[in-house]
A and B are shown apart, each in its own frame.
Chain A
């Protein structure tokens, strides 16, 4: 008899994690752009694009990484006051 297939959770742990930054009414657009440049090395154009996605669409994916590194990114974003969460990449 064949073994039962892996559960979705077991398979999903191999998928990368995405870091999302969410819109909030307090953080300045200029500051969000600056933080994205500083933490992820984005140039001004890319950082501005992401910031505008956050502002206009409500959220933006700013990084894609292993869980450990993604949690580090979130921690750094929280240190700077941005609202960030983690999700499994689909």
Chain B
């Protein structure tokens, strides 16, 4: 019996060497370790042995089973690993992607600009695109027959109705409707009778207004500096210089250091190193008169910016006309 176990062991290890894959491994298991396998049949034969041999043969047979099982398990792991490694998928095939749409870059930039101001506590307000002369000009201290009207060439519907030339009329509408504090940001389409390489007859502006007790020109500088830093990066240099808008006094133009050449001078900034991006100023007392605010009690500032200009700087677009051609090859890039 001992010899038989020895032979069995020898044969098992020989067979084990021949195992190459999962199926031959399974055959091996059934042959040696299965319920009707060779080791089981030896075990079954133990009962027929003389009583004194039984314990020893039983022990040897168990040992052999454990030994083979151990080898079998080891080999099984190796083969399973091999089998898994054999599975091949071409990971370079294109995935079943879901077609992606694209936001118009103007929408994206409007959202970015508004978000910055909303976080500072401004609230978003809108107004009509077809406006009354009164709101677009008169109440903004731009009377008829004033040279300031030349600053904006206007599309008219009638003598009194026009396409708003800026988002500023919203200021007046809001101030008419409520008392301070007013902290609003007003995005929207505006229209000017102007079309050439650098102008489109329709474009977008975002206007802002803050009126409360004790608002100073220093606050205007603070809010707009913060905006520029959030929009163009904290290391963007900016400067404020005197300008003129009929509805602000003092007025300030805000220039940022050219984002293209970093102030060294290039085509985009006309070799000045600076880019004009914002018009601003302290609300003119004349405007308070129109809306019935007491100029001794309240002060505030307003600002406005062209979204196309900011988008052009942000994305490096040189031709403003591209925004309104609606070519998918343009839009797909955003």
Answer yes or no: are A and B bound together in one complex: no
By a beta-carbon cutoff of 8 Å, the part of chain B in contact with chain A is none
